[in-house]
């Protein structure tokens, strides 16, 4: 079954399928290995990991597409891309969606912010006219209907922070009518507002719990309760990059203040070399070398074919 079909079916079941955010291929592989059904590429994660910058529209669309391709190749579960505002007007948004489908991506977010956009939980957001956003969605839907009917277009509105819930619901329904498959009210605050939105929106609703720890602007509601409300998807977009930040800060701070400059025996900080190389697939590449490279080459390189397929090949 196509990945887009798997993603669409999960969302339409309205069981609050959890789609964590990743910031690179490694974090995507880790999320997959932990048993999640799908992955969301995090726009903030890409900005922070690629540039060391905040999510304020600084990442170029080419970089977004390239990094999304790396992530999609790294995992076997459906991947949702983050197209931000689409890369321009309706024509740009449609062309970028076409590229995502060619990569095997299962879905994508598109938001109605003014470019340069910013993280939905930041202050200072602006939105484009609703009919302009609807035009982008219609153009993207035309490509979807031609290339992959199951590709999920997630229409995000940021108007909630500016004009409130009613305006957000109106935009969501307009975007769904234009061809979106999923509606996303970013920064929605309360359980009551979520329940109202689920009932009023003519399609599945996506809820953003940001880091799954603080919830940020949105009330932190248990996933089973969101499923009972009928929420289609739950994104946890920034956890991977924020966990990475905290872990790296803790480790290198400890290393810096260590009197010896090393941390002997403190295995809580890092995975073992063998554990990590196994996770990223070094043994599989060694096996491919053993299967396909000339024996004389392997003998010179590893002093015997049997040594390459043992352990980490050290």
> Given a cut of 70, is residue 92 above it in pLDDT?
yes
Q: Tell me, what DSSP letter sits at residue 86?
A: -
Q: How far apart are CA 103 and CA 98, in angstroms?
A: 9
Q: Sign (positive/negative) of CA torsion 111, 225, 237, 246?
A: positive
48 with 150, same domain? yes
pLDDT at 116: 83
More reliable by pLDDT, 252 or 123: 252
- The predicted structure's pLDDT at residue 297: 84
Residue 265 pLDDT > 60: yes
Percent of the chain with pLDDT over 90: 84
Q: What is the mean pLDDT of residues 36-51?
A: 97
What pLDDT, on a 0 to 100 scale, did the predictor assign at position 271?
A: 95
Helix (H, G, I), strand (E, B) or coil at 49: helix
Residue 309: pLDDT band with limits 50, 70, 90: low
Structural domain range at position 301 = 271-314
User: Which position has the higher pLDDT, 217 or 5?
Assistant: 5
Provide the number of structural domains found in the chain: 2
Helix axes 130-147, 90-103, angle to 10 degrees: 30
pLDDT digits (tens, 9 = 90+) for 185-207: 999 999 999 999 999 999 999 99
- Residue 45, domain member (yes or no): yes
Asked if 41 contacts 22 with a C-beta cutoff of 8 angstroms, the reply is: yes
Instruction: Give residue-wise pLDDT tens across range 127-173.
Output: 999 999 999 999 999 999 999 999 999 999 999 999 999 999 999 99
Residue 210 pLDDT: 86
Q: 184 in a domain, yes or no?
A: yes
Q: Model confidence at 303, in pLDDT bands (50, 70, 90)?
A: confident
For residue 195, the domain's CATH number is 3.20.20.60
Same domain, 230 and 297: no
Q: Name the percent of the chain lying above pLDDT 70.
A: 96
Each residue of 284-298: pLDDT tens digit?
Answer: 998 998 899 888 888
Residue 304, pLDDT above cutoff 90:
no
Q: How many CB atoms lie within 10 A of CB 91?
A: 13
What is the C-alpha radius of gyration for the chain, rounded to an integer number of angstroms? 22
Classify residue 301 as exposed, middle or buried by CB count within 10 Å of its CB (0-12, 13-18, 19+): middle
Say yes or no to pLDDT of 49 above 60.
yes
Residue 313 pLDDT > 50: no
Report the C-alpha gap between 226 and 232 in whole angstroms.
9
Task: For residues 45 and 145, state if they share a domain.
Answer: yes
Residue at 257 is within a domain: no
279 assigned to some structural domain: yes
Domain-embedded: residue 67: yes
Instruction: Spell out the SS3 assignment of 18-33.
Output: EEEEECCHHHHHHHHH
Residue (of 179, 181, 231) closest to 209 by Cα position: 231
What is the Cα–Cα distance from 53 to 60, expressed in whole angstroms?
13
Chain center to CA of 115:
20
Check whether residue 215 and residue 297 sit in a common domain: no
- Residue-level pLDDT at 118: 76
Q: Is 170 within the bounds of a domain?
A: yes
Q: Is pLDDT larger for residue 192 or for residue 307?
A: 192
Contacts of 261 (CB under 8 A, 6+ apart): 255
Same domain flag for 93 and 213:
yes
């Amino acid at each position: 079954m196509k990945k887009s079909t798997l993603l669409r079916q999960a969302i339409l079941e309205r069981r609050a399928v959890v789609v964590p955010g990743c910031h690179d291929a490694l974090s995507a592989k880790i999320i997959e290995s932990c048993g999640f059904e799908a992955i969301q590429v995090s726009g903030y994660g890409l900005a922070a990991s690629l540039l060391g910058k905040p999510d304020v529209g600084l990442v170029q669309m080419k970089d977004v597409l390239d990094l999304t391709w790396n992530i999609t190749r790294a995992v076997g579960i459906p991947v949702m891309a983050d197209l931000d505002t689409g890369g321009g007007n309706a024509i740009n948004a449609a062309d970028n969606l076409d590229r995502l489908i060619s990569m095997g991506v299962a879905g994508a977010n598109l938001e109605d912010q003014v470019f340069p956009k910013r993280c939905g939980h930041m202050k200072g957001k602006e939105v484009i006219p609703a009919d302009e956003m609807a035009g982008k969605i219609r153009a993207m839907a035309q490509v979807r209907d031609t290339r992959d009917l199951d590709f999920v277009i997630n229409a995000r509105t940021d108007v909630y922070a500016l004009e409130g819930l009613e305006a957000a619901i109106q935009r969501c329904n307009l975007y769904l009518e234009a061809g979106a498959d999923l509606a996303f009210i970013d920064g929605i605050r309360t359980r009551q507002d979520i329940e109202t939105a689920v009932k009023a929106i003519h399609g599945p609703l996506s809820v953003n719990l940001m880091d799954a720890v603080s919830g940020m602007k949105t009330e932190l509601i248990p996933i089973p309760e969101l499923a009972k409300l009928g929420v289609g998807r739950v994104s946890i977009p920034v956890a991977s990059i924020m966990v990475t930040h905290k872990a790296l800060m803790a480790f290198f701070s400890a290393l810096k203040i260590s009197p010896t400059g090393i941390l002997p025996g403190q295995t809580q900080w890092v995975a073992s070399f063998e554990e990590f190389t196994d996770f990223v697939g070094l043994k599989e590449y060694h096996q491919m070398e053993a299967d396909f490279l000339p024996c004389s080459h392997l003998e010179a390189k590893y002093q015997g074919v049997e040594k390459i397929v043992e352990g980490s090949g050290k």
